[in-house]
Structure 1
Amino acid sequence: MAAKKRPVTGGIDTHGKTHHAAVVDQAGRVLGDQQFTATPAGYRVLLAWLRSFGRLIKVGVEGTGTYGAGLARYLAGEGVCLVEVDRPDRKTRRSKGKSDPIDAVAAARAALSGQAAGTPKTRTGPVEAIRALRVARRGAVKARTAALNQLHGLITSAPDAVRSSLAGLPRPALITTCASLTIDDTALTDPVHATRAALRAVATRVQALYTEIALADRRLRPAVAKTAPRLSALYGVGPEVAGQLLATAGDNPDRLRSEAALAHLCGAAPIPASSGRTDRHRLNRGGDRAANNALYTIALTRMRYDPRTRDYVQRRTKQGLAKIEIMRCLKRYIVREVHAALMADFAALNTA
């Protein structure tokens, strides 16, 4: 009976088809470990198994945004306190080895000790919908860039008869011209005809990708504007930047305890870089680099077009700060505005 009342902590190492769970007591002693299928039925069996060891305090889960997303949603729905656990660093793995039971026990002990204390994203609201739409758009943008590079590469190495007819054309005209090239399928052993066929195929792909990106933008703009109107109204914040910042914050921004937590998450928290008589800070190289890039975009836009920011840059430059240091300060100030806007937007969503 006493064993059923003892507090226990779980740890889960997630994979595509199976999850490995472990349970430890308050002293970190391993009480058991077992593998379960990564299915709704497996989630129910896993939770029942964890609770069979005692009073479940919390569970540390690896990969809550990937393989463990479904499990995390189920456990959160069952009222389980979840903790997001990073994978062990290389030094730990070299000394202790690597296996599913070892990783599950490490996740449980990290949650127990407080070393892992991050709250995972719930992924059940409009922000998750925006993230999914942005995944498709981002893939199309990357594919378009690759296709355009292929197009220019083919033109650069094309026979003179083909290259001379396309030289100097602006991009829209170049794509249209290449997509309308006539092809002789009976002469594809000739480099000229083969190059024309390749150019037409790549240009047609580029046109389709432009259409796909335009459709993604039409879907994203109203979703972002409806979810985060205050964030979208900030100077320099467009739908793409707002979508990225929303995806970084997640559907449960209460996990960001303060603007400092958001700054750290975005890699905009200043890191001491002092030595001797030199007292300075540098940019944080960690955090969500996509969110950091979004802050960079806002800062760059304001430095070019916002009079208030331009005055600030001039003043700080006269004080002897380099551009990179001014950018660091601007990012931190921008995080303050972004955090306030995010909190206001999510408060409005929760009361709607």
Structure 2
Amino acid sequence: MTPSKAVTAVRGFRARTEPDKVRLQLAKDLIADLKRFDEQLAANKQKMTELLDEHGTGLRDIDGVGPVLAARILGCTGRASRFPTSAAYANYTGTAPIQIASADASRYRLSRYDDRQLNSAIYTIAMIQIRMPGSDGRQYYDKKIAEGKTAAYARRALKRHLAAHLWRLMLADETRAARPLSNELSTAS
């Protein structure tokens, strides 16, 4: 329900008792809060879009990544070049599998020593891509299922695949941003 629909619904309500008046006032206060929060979210999204445009990132080109997720990923990651490999970045995001061996059984699980907000952002991207029939993520997920893997395994594999893709993209963005600076330094000499 949107705030405008809520206003319409409340407008038709007439309070007859004192508790009804209190409920009506509380409902009006909640609707005002919702309007304010919607305005704040729109303003935050606009500000993030402007900052991402300044940053020059290609993260928003990935299916399922909007300005909010892109800003969250960049904020949690920092400089992508601080990770020597995509595996190191996957370990940081918690998408790299860890082997758990006990007696004759050996299995893999995801790390719990990671940046949980970054892991959550990658999970969100993976779930959005799985739900999008034409996305690269859905094709990767379907390929894993066709190989006989479970849905949970395919989802984890997609998250690891996305982490590597995000790292490469952020690294390319850093390189592209540093290139004009190095050109300016060489022409100033």
Q: Is the 8 A contact 1:256 1:262 kept in 2?
A: yes
Q: CA separation in 1, counterparts of 2:14 and 2:26?
A: 10
Query: Normalized per residue, which structure has more strand?
Result: 1
Q: CA separation in 1, counterparts of 2:10 and 2:28?
A: 4
Q: Where does residue 21 of structure 1 map in the other structure?
A: none
Write the mapping of 1:192-341 to structure 2, written as runs, cut at 5 A: 192-250=20-78, 252-305=79-132, 306-341=134-169
Query: CA distance change for structure 1 residues 310 and 182 in 2, over 3 Å: closer, same or farther?
Result: closer
Query: CA distance change for structure 1 residues 195 and 213 in 2, over 3 Å: closer, same or farther?
Result: same
Q: Is the 8 A contact 1:263 1:269 kept in 2?
A: yes
- Post-superposition shift, 1:279? 3.2
- Post-superposition shift, 1:308? 4.1
- Post-superposition shift, 1:319? 3.4
- Post-superposition shift, 1:222? 2.1
Q: Where does residue 61 of structure 1 map in the other structure?
A: none
In our comparison, the structure showing a higher alpha carbon Rg is: 1
Identity %: 25
- Post-superposition shift, 1:202? 1.4
CA RMSD of aligned residues (A): 2.6
Q: CA separation in 2, counterparts of 1:329 and 1:237?
A: 18
Q: CA separation in 1, counterparts of 2:57 and 2:83?
A: 20
Q: Where does residue 7 of structure 2 map in the other structure?
A: 176
Query: CA distance change for structure 1 residues 316 and 279 in 2, over 3 Å: closer, same or farther?
Result: farther
- Post-superposition shift, 1:180? 5.4
Secondary structure at 1:273 match in 2 = strand
Q: Is the 8 A contact 1:270 1:283 kept in 2?
A: yes
> Partner amino acid for 2:99?
P
Q: TM-score, normalised by structure 1?
A: 0.46
Secondary structure at 2:62 match in 1 = coil
- Post-superposition shift, 1:175? 2.6
Query: CA distance change for structure 1 residues 216 and 317 in 2, over 3 Å: closer, same or farther?
Result: same
> Partner amino acid for 1:208?
R
Would you identify which runs of 4 or more consecutive aligned residues in structure 1 move more than 6 Å? Answer: 181-184
Query: CA distance change for structure 1 residues 279 and 316 in 2, over 3 Å: closer, same or farther?
Result: farther
Q: Is the 8 A contact 1:266 1:288 kept in 2?
A: yes
Q: TM-score, normalised by structure 2?
A: 0.81
Aligned residues: 179
Query: CA distance change for structure 1 residues 201 and 309 in 2, over 3 Å: closer, same or farther?
Result: closer
Write the mapping of 1:30-45 to structure 2, written as runs, cut at 5 A: none
Query: Normalized per residue, which structure has more helix?
Result: 2
Query: CA distance change for structure 1 residues 333 and 327 in 2, over 3 Å: closer, same or farther?
Result: same
Q: CA separation in 1, counterparts of 2:10 and 2:52?
A: 34
| Contiguous gaps of at least 5 residues in structure 2 | 181-189
Higher relative contact order (CA 8 A, sep 6+): 2
Q: Deviations over 1:269-308 (max 9, x none)?
A: 1111233443321122221111111111211122122354
Q: CA separation in 2, counterparts of 1:223 and 1:181?
A: 43
Secondary structure at 1:257 match in 2 = coil
Q: Is the 8 A contact 2:95 2:110 kept in 1?
A: yes
Q: Which moved more, 1:212-221 or 1:307-316?
A: 307-316
Q: Which moved more, 1:237-246 or 1:270-279?
A: 270-279
